Amino acid sequence: MFDRALDCLAEPSAEALPIHALRPAELAAFCARAPAGGFLEASGFKAASGDIRLVPGESGLAGAVLGLGEGTDHHVFGALPFGLPEGVWRLEPGSFPQDDAVLGFCLGAYQFTALKSPRRAPARLAAAESGAAVSAARAAWLARDLINMPANHLGPAELAQALVEIAAGFGAKSALTVGAALAREYPAIAAVGAGSDRPPIVATLRWQGSRATADAPLLALCGKGVCFDTGGYDLKPSAGMLRMKKDMGGAATMLGLARMIMAADLPIRLVLRLGCVENSVSGRAMRPSDVLQTRSGLTVEIGNTDAEGRLVLCDLLTEACAENPALLIDAATLTGAARVALGPEIVAMFSNDDAAAAALQNSGVKRHDPVWRLPLWPGYDKWLTSGVADLNNVGTKPLAGAIVAALYLQRFIGDNVPWIHLDSYAWNDTKTAGRPEGGEALGMMACFDAIYTIFNLAVI
Active site residues per annotation: 236, 310
Are 5 and 102 in contact by the 8 Å Cβ rule? The answer is no
Sheet holding 17-22, edge to edge: 9-10, 124-126, 88-91, 17-22, 60-67, 52-57
Could you count the other beta carbons within 10 Å of the beta carbon of residue 2? 22
C-beta of residue 159 within 8 angstroms of C-beta of residue 251: yes
Instruction: Tell me the CA distances in angstroms from 339 to 91, 146, 257, 345, 376, one per residue in order.
Output: 37, 21, 22, 9, 17
| Residues 257, 241: Cα–Cα separation, whole Å | 27
Write the DSSP string, 363-402: HHHHTT--EEE----GGGGGGG--SSSSEESS-SSSS-HH
CA distance 99 to 449: 14
CB 243 within 8 A of CB 266: no
Helix, strand or coil for residue 347?
Answer: strand
Cα angle, residue 325 at apex, residues 322 and 329 outer, rounded to 5°: 105
Q: Give DSSP secondary structure letters for 127-159.
A: ----HHHHHHHHHHHHHHHHHHS-TTT--HHHH
